[in-house]
Structure 1
Amino acid sequence: MGICTISKGGTAGTVVDAKLVFATALKGAAQSLVISHNHPSGNLLPSEQDKRLTQRLVELGKALDLPVLDHIIVTVDGYYSFADEGEI
């Protein structure tokens, strides 16, 4: 298991390069991925960008036989799990 920071952003957003996500996982010989990020705003609901990114990473993971098991959004009040909500 490992943790890797792919992107840092401001309060309005950040850019995530899917190539870096999967390159890091492949270099680490990962068998699957759990993606996570925080929402400094405290809003637990995923944005449209969060949903698009998740869909893209899930599709790429299937193609690489490297499944994305979950995408978790963390705030000071709790978390949102795409897997728990049936979105993965």
Structure 2
Amino acid sequence: MKNQYQNTDWQKVSEIELIYKSRVKSADRPYITSSRDAYRLLLDSWDPGKIEFFEQFKVLLLSQSNRVLGIYEVSSGGIAGTVVDMRLLFAAALKAAAVGIIITHNHPSGKTAPSEADRNMTRKIREAGKLLDIPLLDHLIVTPETYYSFADEGAL
């Protein structure tokens, strides 16, 4: 007798394949040693027409030797905020086999002081990173002229 809940037609199930392809040799990847290094790299990657217009949230994916595996834009929002889907953030980190992350977002106002929402999001991402063994190394709030580093300010 066949159980009505058994499904033996396994060929109709999607196969999941995890791959990460890099076109950059490890030795050629940027090396991050400080928040200043991360800020310069991120600022160079930011669209100058957007940094003072609306909020964007990105994650810098790092290797074991603090080499940059990639920069992933997690979200774009409005003038005063953007929504971060942690599942997408950590999907990118896991797919790239990142062993550390630096998160960043811009403040179109030009002020780098973190809001309470920024602090809460940082705590939430830090805790999720602990569970996945992908530590949050820093959170940078960037403007074209300067930045705020949670790690440098002891707020991480």
TM-score normalised to the size of structure 1? 0.96
Q: Work out the percentage of aligned pairs sharing the same amino acid.
A: 58
Give the gaps of 5 or more residues in structure 2: 1-68
- Whole-angstrom distance in 1 between the partners of 2:100 and 2:145: 27
Give the gaps of 5 or more residues in structure 1: none
Structure 1 residue 75, shift from structure 2 partner? 1.0
In the alignment, what sits opposite 2:80? 12
- Whole-angstrom distance in 2 between the partners of 1:29 and 1:77: 32
Structure 1 residue 12, shift from structure 2 partner? 1.4
Q: Specify the SS of the correspondent of 2:92.
A: helix
Q: Which amino acid aligns with 1:30?
A: A
- Is 1:24 the counterpart of 2:92 in the alignment? yes
In the alignment, what sits opposite 1:78? 146
Structure 1 residue 22, shift from structure 2 partner? 0.6
TM-score normalised to the size of structure 2? 0.55
Structure 1 residue 6, shift from structure 2 partner? 0.5
Structure 1 residue 43, shift from structure 2 partner? 1.0
- Which structure has the greater CA radius of gyration? 2
Q: Specify the SS of the correspondent of 1:5.
A: strand
The equivalent position to 1:54 in structure 2, one of 119, 122, 133, is: 122
In the alignment, what sits opposite 1:63? 131
Q: Specify the SS of the correspondent of 2:103.
A: strand
Structure 1 residue 76, shift from structure 2 partner? 2.4
Structure 1 residue 10, shift from structure 2 partner? 1.2
Alignment RMSD (CA, Å): 0.7
In the alignment, what sits opposite 2:112? 44
